[in-house]
Chains A and B, each alone.
Chain A
Amino acid sequence: MSEDIWAEQDTNPDAIEAALRELLHERHAANEALAPARVLNLVVIVDREWKGEIANRLERAGRYHASRTVLCTVETGRTKLDAVATVSYQEPQGSALGVMHENVEIDLGPSHLRALPTIVDPILIGEIPTVVWSPHGHQDAVDALLPLIDVMLLDSDDMDDPTEAFARAEHLREHAYVVDLAWLRTTPWRERLAATFDLPERLPALREIHELEVRHRETSMASALLLAGWLSSRLQWAGSHLLLWDGRIAGQAHNFNGDVVVALRTAEQEAPGLAGVTVSCTDGRSLSLQRGEGGLDASERTADGAERTWKILGASRGEGGILGEGVRQALLRDPTYVPALDAARDLCPA
């Protein structure tokens, strides 16, 4: 990967934008086969002391890079803007074309945050969606940016209290399309549960579910609630707040046939997200999915008590992969998140 770099201290947005334009122009003039990516802008607001960690996560997002990433680094006491603009590219071979990505890193102070739109807006590429990710809070800055943005990337697992996290997501979704990394951590589980009940002879069993247990890392309760909320919304359960009960957080929802026990249990696990899911039906059938090496370990008990286990293949995407998926999802629209979020709010522990 090659890079062209510009840097300036005590700079301003116009100078940064002009520098980017010049860098792109010069590189294109030097090699006409290089064209700038024009998919989406990503604005990231981070605390200076955690900048390296966030930069690493963005790096590990794999091939899902925004076209122009504007990393706003907040440093206590800073009053002036310093910026580094980078255009990165791989020199294309033969008659192939190459794509250039742009990164801007702006060092700014807390006093700049309320006026962040006036700093960021001139630097964004017009006519393409803008995504904002603020992993260290800075909610005032995010709120100030809301009129500018199309997509809000957030992680409901980042907040200690899922009730607060979901209220935040609810507030943001009134202004922008929300991509929630906590929701994306549930994707393989949702796909597998959907697949399990997809055969016509299994579909009626969805009405027979009487217990759902979701196991999760301690810091990932929001993911667990979103998975429970998804099932609840898809199956039209009426849920109510869960309570701490018998060593787990549990409660009851109601479906066509009666009550459904919904329970969340924490599990020892290094990776954020879910550790397992068990769905049990009234006739004694149950399906359990457990995170394992190379995919999910599935075990099924039939109504007559027979048990089977098998492996559902899939590589772990890791947190870098989840973030990359979040960037990719900014171009898509998932109609099931909002109903799942609403149902998850109903289930949030009282």
Chain B
Amino acid sequence: MTDPNPLSQGLERLPVAPTNLVIFGGTGDLAKRKLLPAIYNLAHEGALPERFNLVGVSRSDMPDDDYRGLAIEAIRAFSRTKPDEAVLEKLLDEIRYIPGTFDDPQVYESLVATLAELDRNAGEPMARTFYISTAPEFFPLIVEKLGDHGLNVHDGADVRIVIEKPFGTSLAEAIDLNKRVLEVFEERQVFRIDHYLGKETVQNMLAFRFANGMFEPLWNRNYIDHVQITAAEDIGIGTRAGYYDKAGALRDLVQNHMLQLLTLLCMEPPVVFSADEVRDEKVKVLHAIKTPEKIDGMAVRAQYSRGVVAGVEVNGYLDEPGVPEDSSTETFAALRLEVDNWRWAGVPFYLRTAKRLARRVTEIAVILKPVPHMAFGGQHVPANQLVLTMQPNEGVSLSLGAKVPGTRMTIRPVNMEFLYGTAFISQSPEAYERLILDAMRGDATLFTRNDEIEALWGIIDPILEAWERDKSSTVPQYDAGSSGPKEADALLLPGHVWRRL
């Protein structure tokens, strides 16, 4: 182990080794909307490595100059800060573009030559980060080709690979993809990205749980009655029918984002906040979730039908452009899960996600058990609820019973609220900025490990298979703009109700 750099102590932004960042899918939507603007913002803030080069790889045939133009346009359109022209020019001054299909050996030969030239210019071997933001079917192909051309290792510098989601569409695919990736790269080189983990409010869950002594005594089966995790969207699938109809709500949001939220909520405190310590604890939670073979009563799916959202009449899912008329893809998924371990045994965790619901909200509601005896004339007082909201209004609220002013002892719930916007000065950076920097730095804490991804799929796979087998029954429908199908109520144990959206 080398001595720590004495100059790094106290710096808010830790140094990142000189890096060449290669984006596969460099002309794609993700690159244009998120990756290139995130890289620009890192440059603007002075957070990029002291030596940094950007290389785009994609199918479209164009010279470097045209790719520079595309990148400038994307950054101007989607950057969260107004670009400083001098920084923008210098960032893209030396940008390189390699055209070709991802199975073409010429692409990788050009990449080898380009990266070697950039190293020569720098006078030293620079770290390499390959960011795979292509369609998922190209993930294994690109990984294998990188290995074939010796791009998985680099003498004197680190090589890392960032793989976008979805990482497989089933457990079998995830296992296969892991195997193929790990035949070429070591696990420490692999960064499976779920941008949700880069969000400040998601990371704040760890701070909230492990930096506040008041919650720990309550954070278990003795005091928590049940938990509801909701990721509701008011929008439909838009122009994403091609992707969405193959994926569905379960793969799109539950398998990754929502189960990640659940693990952060349920995990034991790590000894230290290091990548493997945190991920070890998350994996333990996932292993404690057992999906029964018969999913009746623990999983519900549905599709939105025609309805009204924000006063405007909207199509049903089957009427959306590009959706097959006999599609059984779910746009609503709700689950009841149990985390079968000492802390959480018997506590139901309800997960619910959908398109075209009444409003957009992502939240975790922890509903505590009611008081054992109500001394105030038998009136019903709702149990305390702790609600962590990720969007649209990032914050935490705690509902408490309080006396209504007057001559009678009437109790009603009131909220104590903490809102991010009122309690901190700075804006949250885009999740991709944080994650790109972490990947270049080699910090995998906010990325998904191989065993974690397989454990995630292990929970979802039986449900997907059961729905796949069940071709005979029709998929329940819910009105667009509503709070979901009534069938979802069947998941709830006696005394529980879905939180109002």
Q: Which residues of chain A have a CB within 8 Å of any CB of chain B?
A: 35-40, 63-67, 94-97, 99, 188, 190-200, 203, 206, 231, 234-235, 293-295, 298, 300, 302, 306, 308, 310-316, 327-328, 331-332, 334-337
Which of the candidate stretches B13-21, B246-254, B318-326, B467-475 sits at the interface with the other chain? B13-21
Q: Report how far A107 CA is from B393 CA in the complex, Å.
A: 38
B425 proximity list for chain A (CB < 8 A):
39-40, 63-66, 327-328, 331
B interface residue count range (under 10 / 10 to 19 / 20 to 34 / 35 or more): 35 or more
Q: Which of B81-89, B222-230, B268-276 lies at the interface?
A: B81-89
CB pair A328–B426 under 8 Å, yes or no, is: yes
Q: How far is the CA of A191 from the CA of B91 in the complex (A)?
A: 19
In the complex, what's the smallest C-beta–C-beta distance from B423 to chain A, in angstroms? Answer: 6
Chain B residue with Cβ nearest A230: B7
Contact, CB under 8 Å: A37 / B422: yes
A35-B421, A298-B50 provided; 6 other pairs, C-beta below 8 A?
A35-B422, A234-B7, A312-B46, A313-B90, A315-B86, A332-B12
Q: Are A314 and B15 in contact (CB under 8 A)?
A: no
Residue in contact with B87 in the complex, picked from A64, A99, A313, CB distance below 8 Å: A313
A40 and B425 CA atoms in complex are apart in Å by 9
Bitwise, B357-371 to A at CB < 8 A (1) or not (0) is 001100000000000
Partner of B10, one of A94, A316, A335: A335
Q: Check B238 for interface membership: any CB of A closer than 8 A.
A: no
**Which residues of B lie under 8 Å from residue A38 when comparing CB positions?**
422-423
Q: A203-B3, A310-B51, A334-B10 are in contact. Are A39 and B84 (CB under 8 A)?
A: no
Q: Which residue of the partner chain, among A35, A95, A192, contacts B50 with CB atoms under 8 Å? A: A192
Residues from chain A with Cβ under 8 Å of B50 in the complex: 192, 195-196, 298, 310, 312
Which residues from A are CB-within-8-Å of B2? 200, 203
**Closest chain B CB from A129 CB (angstroms):** 11
| Contact among B13, B87, B88, B422 for A191, CB-based, below 8 A | B13
Give chain B residues whose Cβ lies under 8 Å from the Cβ of A39. Answer: 422-425
- Which residue of chain B lies nearest to A316 when distances are taken between CB atoms in the complex? B84
Question: Does B407 make an interface contact (CB < 8 A)?
Answer: no
Please state if A198 and B87 are interface contacts (CB–CB under 8 Å): no
Q: Name 8 A/B residue pairs within 8 A (Cβ), A-sorted.
A: A94-B392, A97-B419, A197-B5, A294-B87, A294-B90, A313-B91, A314-B46, A332-B12
Q: Which residues of B contact A231 (CB under 8 A)?
A: 7
- Interface residues as binary, B13-32 with A (CB distance below 8 Å gives 1, 0 otherwise): 10111000000000000000
Complex formed: what's the CA distance from A311 to B92 in Å?
12
A146 to B194, CA, bound (A): 47
- B residues near A200, Cβ cutoff 8 Å: 2
Using CB atoms, name the residue of chain A closest to B42: A313
A36 to B86 CA separation, bound complex (whole angstroms): 37
* Closest beta carbon of chain B to A242's beta carbon, Å: 21
B123 shortest CB reach to chain A, Å: 5
Residue from B84, B393, B427 within 8 A of A96 (CB atoms)? B393
- Shortest CB-to-CB span from B291 to chain A, Å, is 34
B52-A313 in contact (CB<8A): yes
> If the complex has contacts A63-B425, A310-B51, are A191 and B46 also in contact, measured as CB distance less than 8 A?
yes
Q: Which residues of B from 180 to 207 have beta carbons under 8 Å from A?
A: none
- Tell me whether B375 is interfacial, beta carbon within 8 Å: no
Interface: B8 (CB within 8 A): yes
Q: Is B9 an interface residue (CB 8 A)?
A: yes
- CB pair A188–B46 under 8 Å, yes or no, is yes
Partner pick for A311 among B90, B123, B360, B424, CB 8 A cutoff: B90
With CB as the reference atom, state the residue of chain A lying closest to B3. Answer: A203
Top 10 nearest A-B pairs by Cβ distance? A314-B46, A294-B86, A336-B10, A195-B15, A194-B7, A198-B15, A315-B84, A313-B43, A294-B90, A293-B86
Report Cα–Cα, A191/B423, bound state, in Å: 28
What's the minimum C-beta distance from A138 to chain B, rounded to whole angstroms?
A: 25
A65, A206, A234, A315 pick with most chain B CB within 10 angstroms: A315
B11 at the interface (CB under 8 A from A): yes
Chain A CB within 8 A of B59 CB: no
Which of A35, A306, A336 is B9 in contact with, Cβ under 8 Å?
Answer: A336
Total A-B pairs, Cβ < 8 A: 135
Complex partner residue of A234 from B9, B44, B122, CB under 8 angstroms: B9
B413 touches A (CB below 8 Å): no
**A208 to B73 CA separation, bound complex (whole angstroms):** 46
A195-B49 contact given A35-B419, A36-B422, A39-B422, CB 8 Å threshold: yes
A199 touches B422 (CB 8 A): no
B64 to chain A, nearest CB (A): 18
Q: Which of A65, A94, A294 contacts B84 (CB 8 A)?
A: A294
Contacts of B3 in A (CB 8 A): 203
A314-B43 in contact (CB<8A)? yes
Of all chain A residues, the one with the shortest Cβ separation from B51 is A310
The proximity string for B residues 31-69 relative to A, scoring 1 for CB distances below 8 Å and 0 otherwise, is: 000000000000111101111100000000000000000
Q: Is B6 an interface residue (CB 8 A)?
A: yes
Please determine whether B5 and A194 come into contact, CB atoms closer than 8 angstroms.
yes
Give the Cβ gap from A297 to chain B, nearest Cβ, in Å.
10
Closest to A236 in B: B6
Contact status of A306 and B123, CB under 8 A, knowing A39-B422, A313-B87, A315-B84: yes
Say yes or no: A194-B8 contact (C-beta < 8 A), given A96-B393, A99-B421, A328-B425.
yes
Taken together as a complex, chains A and B put the C-alpha atoms of A194 and B84 apart, in Å, by 25
Chain A residues within 8 Å of B6, by CB: 206, 234-235
A295 touches B90 (CB 8 A): yes
Q: Is the CB of A95 within 8 A of B90?
A: no
Name the distance in Å between B206's Cβ and chain A's nearest Cβ.
Answer: 19
A300: chain B residues within 8 A (beta carbon): 123
A212 to B263, CA, bound (A): 50
Taking CB atoms, residues of chain A closer than 8 Å to B417 are 35
Q: In chain B between 412 and 439, which residues have their CB closer than 8 angstroms to a CB of chain A?
A: 417, 419, 421-427
Q: Give every chain A residue within 8 A of B93 (Cβ-Cβ).
A: 311
B51 near A314 with CB under 8 A, answer no
Q: In angstroms, how far is the closest chain B Cβ from the Cβ of A227?
A: 11
B394 smallest CB distance to A (angstroms): 9
Instruction: Please measure, in the bound complex, the distance between the C-alpha atom of A211 and the C-alpha atom of B45, giving whole angstroms.
Output: 29
Tell me the complex Cα distance, A303–B90, Å: 28
Do A295 and B15 contact each other (CB < 8 Å), given the known contacts A96-B392, A235-B6?
Answer: no
B5, A203: Cβ atoms under 8 Å?
yes
In whole angstroms, how far apart are the Cα atoms of A50 and B17 in the complex?
A: 45
Please state if A198 and B48 are interface contacts (CB–CB under 8 Å): no
Q: A39-B423, A96-B392 are in contact. Are A302 and B7 (CB under 8 A)?
A: no
- Contact between B13 and A314, CB atoms less than 8 A apart: no
Contacts of B424 in A (CB 8 A): 39, 331
Residue of B nearest to A337 (CB): B10
A15 to B8, CA, bound (A): 49
Residues of A contacting B52 in the complex (Cβ-Cβ under 8 angstroms): 313
Nearest neighbor of B43 in chain A, beta-carbon distance: A313
**CB neighbours of B9 from chain A (8 A):** 234, 335-336
Whole-angstrom CA separation of A313 from B9 in the bound complex: 22
Point out the residue from B10, B16, B392 that lies within 8 Å of A195, measured CB to CB.
B16
A35-B422, A294-B86, A315-B84 known; A95-B359 Cβ under 8 A: yes
Residues from 208 to 238 in B contacting A, C-beta threshold 8 Å: none
Q: Nearest Cβ distance between residue A63 and chain B, in whole angstroms?
A: 6
Chain A residues positioned under 8 Å from B12 (CB to CB): 332
How far is it, in angstroms, between the C-alpha of A316 and the C-alpha of B84 when the chains are bound? 9
